[in-house]
């Protein structure tokens, strides 16, 4: 673990341009991604367990700890999906009422088993909470589904 780079030494690159050749519009892209996640939601956690060889909870917890998540912090998980990251956040902060999840896929959130966690339909581009409502924001793999990162 001593060989980890400190955040100040990491290179930051501009995001790639939107892949307009695949979708006629941003609305079409959102529709495709939404239907993809809604239709695969029931199998998502099982597939994740298989592909990660069962290590998912461990590495998610490690990522959250290394990013600075501590007991008592208020967390919003953007792109909460079925709750894989939010579940680990609850363990770290100690109270599910301190964790909220935002996702455009109602199907994914319907498969989340997160008692006490607020799940809100919404998008990263327009987080449905006032500024400074949370101490910590997590976003697992959802960043790749945002059409315009500017």
Q: Using CA atoms in the order 37, 139, 142, 127, what is the torsion angle rounded to 10 degrees?
A: 80
Give the Cα separation of 146 and 131 in Å (integer).
20
pTM, to two decimals: 0.79
Spatial neighbors of 112 by CB under 8 A, at least 6 apart, are: 80, 81, 82, 83, 86, 101, 119
Q: Which fold has domain 26-142?
A: Rossmann fold (3.40.50)
The pLDDT value given to residue 55: 84
For residue 24, how many other CB atoms are within 10 A of its CB?
9
pLDDT of residue 1: 41
List, for the chain, all residue ranges whose pLDDT scores fall below the cut of 50. Answer: 1-2, 4
- Strand order of the β-sheet with 136-138 is 118-121, 99-103, 75-78, 136-138
Identify the pLDDT of residue 20. Answer: 67
Encoding tokens for residue 92? 């770290």
């Amino acid at each position: 673990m001593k060989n980890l780079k400190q955040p100040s030494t990491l290179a930051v690159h501009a995001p790639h341009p939107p892949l307009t050749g695949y979708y006629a519009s941003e609305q079409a892209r959102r529709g495709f991604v939404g239907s993809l996640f809604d239709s695969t939601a029931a199998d998502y956690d099982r597939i994740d367990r298989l592909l990660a060889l069962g290590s998912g909870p461990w590495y998610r917890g490690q990522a959250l700890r290394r990013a600075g998540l501590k007991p008592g912090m208020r967390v919003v998980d953007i792109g909460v999906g079925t709750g894989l990251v939010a579940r680990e956040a609850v363990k770290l902060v100690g109270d599910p009422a301190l964790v909220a999840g935002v996702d455009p896929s109602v199907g994914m959130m319907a498969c989340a088993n997160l008692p006490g966690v607020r799940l809100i339909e919404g998008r990263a581009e327009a987080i449905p909470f006032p500024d400074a409502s949370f101490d910590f924001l997590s976003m697992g793999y959802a960043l790749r589904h945002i059409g315009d990162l500017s």
